[in-house]
Structure 1
Amino acid sequence: MFTEKIRMAKAAQQKTEILIDWEKTAITGPVLGFHAGCVVGNNFYIHGGVESMDSKTPSNRLYQLSSSEGAWTELSFPGSPSLSHHAAVDINDRYIILIGGWNGKSRSSKIYAFDTEKQQWTEPTVTGFPEDGGLSSHTATVLNSGKILILGREGSLRMQRRHGSMYLLSGSVESGRFIYREYTQATASRSGHTANVIGNVLCIVGGRDSNLIEIHTGFKSLKSPAPVTNQITRIVDKLPSVSKTPAGRKNHVSVVSPGAILIHGGETFDGRNREPVGEMLIFATKPCNTFYKVGVSEVKRAGHVCGVVGDEIILHGGFGGKKQLYGDTFFLKFKK
């Protein structure tokens, strides 16, 4: 009888489905890891990254996933930089701004802009960043002021150091100039983290082996979360809360919704995994800061990218077990 109860309990556990998961599409894209992703209008763009895990030379390729065509297309125009571990943001629903990254020789603080209307690259003048310094595995978040908050790994090739510095990047493509100014608010040293704004709260997730979540108030995002992300917030009441803060992680992705953040994948610091995980968590700020367990996806990735286009939340690429790189594309699906 006791053995039968154990068997039934295991069977019931196996039947449990996670409420949201990644569904593979027929859309095959470039095989990449540590690339940058950015949504402009109804198109998802990805740039750079590495095409093999042992590559010493980052890619300079730019790809567009058109919502109307449902396929990845390479956009080949002169001036595209070779970068990995960089950040990308959209400005004015027209420009893709690439910030920092590894250029194959050193970390960079340079800025590159791609005009999606004119289909051309420019390299604005940049001032204000420490001499002989650069950025990699950092984040860039556009604030309601129009300035870009830069947070994360900073250091020269010689120093190889990590800092908890924040910078505010201001300027415009039209003026051809951008300026870094160090922000006075202190933060923990992080690398390979994510940063999202919920309401007026900046939530920094991962990038270190402890203190998984760090919160700063007084920030507001330029754009509100896409309507499709409301479904992330709605399922919180159906999920079990996590009594213990999950392990630290890096090179994961996150999706912001009103009041919550969905976190997927990455490499954990818990000592049990040396390969990317498929763990999915939700961090909600109301009624109080709480982590919720979504489940474990079979899509185990790190160094991947994620974006929201229309009513689809899209994941592309990254590396999985045995350091294998992928070029597949997934849509996030909600169980009914």
Structure 2
Amino acid sequence: MAAAPRGWAGGSRWTWRPVARDALLARAFHSCTELRGRLYLVGGLLAGGATEPSGDTVVLDLEGDQAVRMGARGGPRRSHHDAVPLGGRWLCAVGGWDGSRRLAAVAALDTERGEWEAWAAAPGSCPPAGLSSHTCTRLSDREVRVAGREGGTRTQRRFGSIYTLRLDPGARTYCSAEPEVAGHWSPGTIKDEPTVAPRLMEQLAKFVSSGRGSQQGPRGLRHHSCSVVGPFAVMFGGEALTRPRDAVCNDLYIYDARKSRQSPSLWFHFPCADRGLKRVGHRTCLWNDQLYLVGGFGEDGRTASPQVYVLDLFI
């Protein structure tokens, strides 16, 4: 009898299937953004315990499965940041840790010229305190929603402020509005994924129908990944703050935002038996109807993965 795929829960099966491998991709707490069929990896930490982020930009051609270090000048040294694409040309990195402090500034890569630029804060901008482990959701080519951040360097406190970041590629400026929501929660790592993925959406709908949902989502989890696929949010891995040992996780959570009077929005939990898939500080990214997993530290929380995977669901 053939062995079952790595992920197994209640009759439903899933796995992260390896599709590419390159030493340049081995990093964690980086950003990973799809732009015109390529994944742009910016910065990150190359090994556990490192305090100085990388300043390089690595480009993975998804059709050719080849990674190259981009010789872009002026690349920012960042980790725990986030990035969004604009206008099919710009890649804007927002905030992050530079090795000594948290920033709220914006650096932009012009992918046509292959050069990084430090954009300036526009008059009237109200920048927040330094950002790290926040999220950036692209609303349009001129607006980005920024949510959550970590607290001081000696605390585990997290803040749930939400504000709008307005970008002007023509003027090379950004403007931070006053926070719209303030609190002490964090949305985790939620990426804006505008790409239509009809096949994956159909698979997710069938997949969750085999599980038992709950209105209670995961608690005490950080540095996980989360990608939005239509009405579904797909969350994977992370670090469990409630575990003194073996804190790195490999669980798959799916949030089904479809609801009606008879069926509220629900979370579905699908554990994984493969300890080799434990990840923290990784990224997931949606492209061409597939969900990709890139980088992150493994089970020991120190060794970065050079592997690229795609999510397979078996109904």
Give the TM bin, normalised by the shorter chain.
Answer: 0.7 to 0.9
Paired residue for 1:43?
Answer: 38
Decide which of 293, 308, 311 is 1:329's aligned counterpart: 308
The Cα of 1:306 is off from its aligned counterpart by 1.1
SS in 2 for 1:321: coil
Q: Alpha-carbon deviation of 1:91?
A: 0.8
Whether the 8 Å contact between 2:137 and 2:145 is mirrored in structure 1 is: yes
Matches within 5 A, 1:29-108: 29=23, 30-108=25-103
Counterpart check, 1:290 vs 2:290? no
Mapped contact 1:28–1:328 kept (Cα < 8 A)? yes
Equivalent of 2:211 in 226, 231, 239: 239
User: Is structure 2 residue 149 aligned with structure 1 residue 153?
Assistant: yes
- Whole-Å separation in 2 of the counterparts to 1:15 and 1:318: 24
Name the CA distance, whole Å, in 1 between partners of 2:49 and 2:161: 29
Q: Which residue of 1 aligns with 2:252?
A: 280
The structure number with the bigger radius of gyration is 1
DSSP-derived class of the 1:165 partner = strand
Equivalent residues of 1:66, 1:72 under 8 A apart: yes
Q: Is the 8 A contact 1:194 1:254 kept in 2?
A: yes
- Render the CA deviation track for 1:114-149: whole Å, top value 9, x for unaligned: 111221111110252448x31111000011484101
- Which stretch of structure 1 is more off in the superposition, 150-159 or 58-67? 150-159
Is residue 122 from structure 1 mapped to residue 117 from structure 2 by the alignment?
Answer: yes
Give ranges in structure 1 of 5+ residues lacking alignment.
1-13, 198-220
2:79 alignment partner AA: S
Q: Kindly report which structure 2 residues correspond to 1:165-180, keeping only aligned pairs within 5 A, or say none.
A: 165-180=161-176
> 8 Å contact 2:12–2:207 — kept in the other structure?
no
Aligned partners of 2:32 and 2:83 also within 8 Å = yes
Which structure carries more relative contact order (alpha carbon 8 Å, separation 6+)?
2
Partner of 2:288: 310
Query: Cα 1:321–1:187, aligned 2, differ >3 Å: closer, same or farther?
Result: same
Contact between 2:26 and 2:46, CA under 8 Å: does it hold in 1? yes
Counterpart in 2 of 1:229?
Answer: 200
**Secondary structure, aligned partner of 1:238:** coil
Pairing 1:21–2:15 present: yes
Hey, what's the Cα distance between the residues in 1 that align with 2:138 and 2:89?
A: 14
Aligned mates of 1:111, 1:15 — CA distance in 2: 42
Q: 1:228-261 deviations in whole A, cap 9, x for unaligned? A: 4312233221222247543331111112122211
What letter corresponds to residue 70 of structure 2 in structure 1?
L
Q: Deviations over 1:187-208 (max 9, x none)?
A: 43328x12357xxxxxxxxxxx
Contact 2:190 2:227 in 1 (8 A): no
Contact 1:51–1:325 (CA under 8 A) maintained in structure 2 = yes
Give, in whole Å, the separation in 2 of the partners of 1:42 and 1:226.
14
Match of 1:183 among 179, 191, 214: 179
Question: Is the deviation greater in 98-107 or in 312-321?
Answer: 312-321
User: Contact 1:225 / 1:256 at 8 angstroms: preserved in 2?
Assistant: no
How many pairs does the alignment contain?
Answer: 298
CA shift in 2, pair 1:180/1:26, >3 Å: closer
Matched, 1:135 2:127: no
Within 1, Cα distance between the matches of 2:181 and 2:167?
Answer: 21
- Contact 1:35–1:50 (CA<8 Å) still a contact in 2? yes
Farther off after superposition, 109-118 or 245-254:
245-254
Q: Deviations over 1:51-107 (max 9, x none)?
A: 111112100111111123111111012110111000011111221100000001100
Contact kept, 8 Å, 1:37 with 1:306, in 2: the verdict is yes
**Paired amino acid for 2:269:** K
**3-state SS, counterpart of residue 182 of structure 1:** coil
SS at match of 2:171: coil
CA apart distance, 1:15: 9.6
Provide the identity percentage. Answer: 25
2: CA distance between counterparts of 1:108 and 1:25? 34
Output the CA distance in 1 between the equivalents of 2:268 and 2:18: 24
**1:15–1:250 distance in 2 versus 1, CA, 3 Å:** closer
Instruction: Tell me the C-alpha RMSD between the 2 structures.
Output: 2.7
Q: Tell me the TM-score normalised to structure 1 length.
A: 0.80
> Residue 271 of structure 1: SS of its match in structure 2?
coil
